[in-house]
Chain A
Amino acid sequence: MKGYFKKRLVLFLTGVLLVGMTACGKKDEGMVNLVEDDIQEKKVVNMFGPMEKSSPEADNVARSSHELTVIMAEEELGLSVEYRTYTAETYKDKTYDDVTLARARSDMDDVYLLNPDTIQILGSEGKLVDLSCLESSANLRDVVRVSNTVDGKLVAIPQEVVVYGLFVNQDMFEDYHLELPNTPEEFLECCRVFKENGIETPVGANRWWLENFVFALAYADLYNGENTEAEIAALNNGEAKYSDYMREGFEFVKTLIDMGYVDAERAYTYEAIEGEGPDFREQKTPIVMAYWGAANADIAYGKPEFNLQVIGFPSHRGQMPVVSMSGYGVCANAEHLEDTLAVMDIILSDEALQVYAETNKVISPSKNVEVECIDALKPLNDLVNDGVYVLGSNASMKLEQWGNTCVVVRELLNGASVEECLEEMDRLQEGTLGE
Chain B
Amino acid sequence: MKKRENQEKTTGRKRLIIPLIIVFFILGSFVFFIARRISTEMSQSAIGNLSESLELLKGTVEVLFQREAQYQKLIAEELAIIEDPEEFILSYDRNSTLVKMSLVFSGETEGISNTGEVFYPKELDFSSQERVEGIPISSSYINSMGTWAYTMKCPVTKNGREIAELYVEYIYDSFDKALPDRLYNGSATLYIMDGQTERFLLKPKGIGERDAGHLNLQDFYRANNILEESIQQSVAESMKQDGNMMFYHKIQNKDSLIYMWAVNDGSVYLIGYVPVESIQREGNAVNQNILIVVLVMLVAFFMCCAVFFFYERQQNKFRQEREAEREFHNQQLGEALQAAQVANSSKTTFLSNMSHDIRTPMNAILGFTTLLARDADNPIKVREYTKKLTASGQHLLSLINDVLDVSKIESGKAVLTIGEFRLNSVISSVDAIIRPAARDRGQSFEIQVTGIRHECLVGDETRLNQILINLLSNAVKYTQEGGNIWFRIFGLEQRSSQYEHIRIEVEDNGFGMTPEYLEVIFDAFTRAENSTTNKVQGTGLGMAITKNIVELMGGTIEVASEVNKGTIFTVDLELRISEQEEDAKFWKNHGVTRILAVDDDGDVCEGIQALMEDTEACVDVRLSGEEAVRAVETTLEAQAPYDLVLLDWRMPGLNGIETARRIREVMGERILILLLTAYDWDEIDAEALAAGIDGFLAKPFFVSALKEKILELKTRGEEQAWAGGALTLEGQHFLVVEDNEINSEILEELLDIEGADCEVVVNGELAVERFAKANPSEFDAILMDVQMPVMNGYEATKRIRAMEREDAAIIPIIAMTANAFAEDVKDAINAGMNAHVAKPVDMEMLKRTIKDLQKRG
> What is the interface of chain A, defined by CB distance below 8 A to chain B?
1-2, 5, 9, 38, 49-56, 63, 67, 70-71, 74, 80-87, 89, 93-94, 98-103, 106, 108
User: Top 5 nearest A-B pairs by Cβ distance?
Assistant: A102-B146, A103-B146, A82-B205, A99-B146, A106-B145
Q: Are A53 and B212 in contact (CB under 8 A)?
A: yes
Among listed B213-221, B628-636, B717-725, B832-840, interface-contacting one: B213-221
Among A54, A100, A106: residue with most chain B CB under 10 A: A106
Give every chain A residue within 8 A of B203 (Cβ-Cβ): 85
Complex Cα distance, B206 from A53, in Å, reads 17
A335 → B minimal CB distance (Å): 11
A35 → B minimal CB distance (Å): 15
**Interface SS, B side:** loop
**Interface SS, A side:** mixed
Complex Cα distance, B144 from A56, in Å, reads 30
B127 → A minimal CB distance (Å): 17
Complex Cα distance, B145 from A165, in Å, reads 34
Q: Are B210 and A100 in contact (CB under 8 A)?
A: no
Q: A9-B307, A101-B146 are in contact. List 17 more A-B contacts (CB 8 A).
A: A51-B210, A52-B211, A52-B212, A63-B210, A67-B207, A71-B207, A83-B207, A86-B146, A99-B142, A102-B144, A102-B145, A103-B147, A106-B144, A106-B145, A106-B146, A108-B145, A108-B146
B191 → A minimal CB distance (Å): 12
Q: Which of A1, A74, A83, A108 contacts B210 (CB 8 A)?
A: A83
Q: Are A56 and B206 in contact (CB under 8 A)?
A: no
Q: Are A93 and B210 in contact (CB under 8 A)?
A: no
Give every chain A residue within 8 A of B565 (Cβ-Cβ): none
Complex Cα distance, B225 from A297, in Å, reads 21
Give every chain B residue within 8 A of A71 (Cβ-Cβ): 207
Complex Cα distance, B213 from A52, in Å, reads 8
A117 → B minimal CB distance (Å): 16
Query: With an 8 A cutoff between CB atoms, is B223 at the interface?
Result: yes
Give every chain A residue within 8 A of B142 (Cβ-Cβ): 86, 93-94, 99, 102
Q: Are B223 and A85 in contact (CB under 8 A)?
A: no
A90 → B minimal CB distance (Å): 11
Query: With an 8 A cutoff between CB atoms, is B209 at the interface?
Result: yes
**Nearest CB to that of B182 among chain A residues?**
A38
Query: With an 8 A cutoff between CB atoms, is B314 at the interface?
Result: yes
Complex Cα distance, B215 from A49, in Å, reads 13
* Contact A56-B216, Cβ < 8 Å, known A49-B210, A67-B207: no
Q: Are A2 and B212 in contact (CB under 8 A)?
A: no
Q: Are A53 and B144 in contact (CB under 8 A)?
A: no
Complex Cα distance, B200 from A53, in Å, reads 13
Q: Are A89 and B199 in contact (CB under 8 A)?
A: yes
Q: Which of B205, B223, B314 contacts A56 (CB 8 A)?
A: B223
Query: With an 8 A cutoff between CB atoms, is B174 at the interface?
Result: no
* Contact A108-B213, Cβ < 8 Å, known A2-B314, A94-B142: no
Q: Are A56 and B210 in contact (CB under 8 A)?
A: no
Q: Which of B143, B182, B214, B222 contacts A85 (CB 8 A)?
A: B214
Complex Cα distance, B707 from A315, in Å, reads 117
Give every chain B residue within 8 A of A5 (Cβ-Cβ): 310-311
Complex Cα distance, B222 from A56, in Å, reads 8
* Contact A51-B207, Cβ < 8 Å, known A56-B224, A100-B146, A102-B145: no
Give every chain A residue within 8 A of B225 (Cβ-Cβ): 56
Q: Which of A9, A53, A108 contacts B147 (CB 8 A)?
A: A108
Q: Are B219 and A53 in contact (CB under 8 A)?
A: yes
B253 → A minimal CB distance (Å): 12
Give every chain B residue within 8 A of A53 (Cβ-Cβ): 212, 215, 219
A346 → B minimal CB distance (Å): 15
Segment 174-206 of B: residues with Cβ below 8 Å from A? 181-182, 199, 203, 205-206
- Contacts A/B (CB < 8 Å), 10 sampled: A56-B213, A81-B207, A82-B205, A83-B205, A83-B210, A85-B209, A85-B214, A89-B215, A106-B146, A108-B145
Complex Cα distance, B143 from A56, in Å, reads 28
Among A55, A70, A82: residue with most chain B CB under 10 A: A82
B464 → A minimal CB distance (Å): 53
Complex Cα distance, B168 from A240, in Å, reads 49
Interface string of B280-321 (1 = CB under 8 A from A): 000000000000000000000000000100110010000000
Give every chain B residue within 8 A of A93 (Cβ-Cβ): 142
Give every chain A residue within 8 A of B207 (Cβ-Cβ): 67, 70-71, 74, 81, 83
Interface string of B135-152 (1 = CB under 8 A from A): 000000011111100000
Give every chain A residue within 8 A of B147 (Cβ-Cβ): 103, 108
Complex Cα distance, B200 from A85, in Å, reads 11
Q: Which of A63, A87, A94, A100 contacts B215 (CB 8 A)?
A: A87
Q: Are B210 and A82 in contact (CB under 8 A)?
A: no
B197 → A minimal CB distance (Å): 9
B665 → A minimal CB distance (Å): 95
A289 → B minimal CB distance (Å): 23
B215 → A minimal CB distance (Å): 6
Q: Are B214 and A51 in contact (CB under 8 A)?
A: yes
Complex Cα distance, B458 from A287, in Å, reads 102
Complex Cα distance, B145 from A100, in Å, reads 9
B143 → A minimal CB distance (Å): 8
Give every chain A residue within 8 A of B199 (Cβ-Cβ): 89
Give every chain A residue within 8 A of B214 (Cβ-Cβ): 51-52, 85
Give every chain B residue within 8 A of A63 (Cβ-Cβ): 210
Q: Which of A1, A85, A89 contacts B314 (CB 8 A)?
A: A1
Give every chain B residue within 8 A of A9 (Cβ-Cβ): 307
B170 → A minimal CB distance (Å): 15
Among B146, B181, B205: residue with most chain A CB under 10 A: B146
Q: Are B146 and A98 in contact (CB under 8 A)?
A: yes
A78 → B minimal CB distance (Å): 15
Complex Cα distance, B146 from A98, in Å, reads 8
B185 → A minimal CB distance (Å): 11
Complex Cα distance, B211 from A85, in Å, reads 10
A319 → B minimal CB distance (Å): 34
Give every chain B residue within 8 A of A106 (Cβ-Cβ): 144-146
Q: Are A85 and B146 in contact (CB under 8 A)?
A: no
A281 → B minimal CB distance (Å): 17
Complex Cα distance, B225 from A71, in Å, reads 28
Among B143, B210, B215, B223: residue with most chain A CB under 10 A: B210
Complex Cα distance, B199 from A402, in Å, reads 30
B195 → A minimal CB distance (Å): 16
Complex Cα distance, B207 from A85, in Å, reads 11
Interface string of B701-719 (1 = CB under 8 A from A): 0000000000000000000
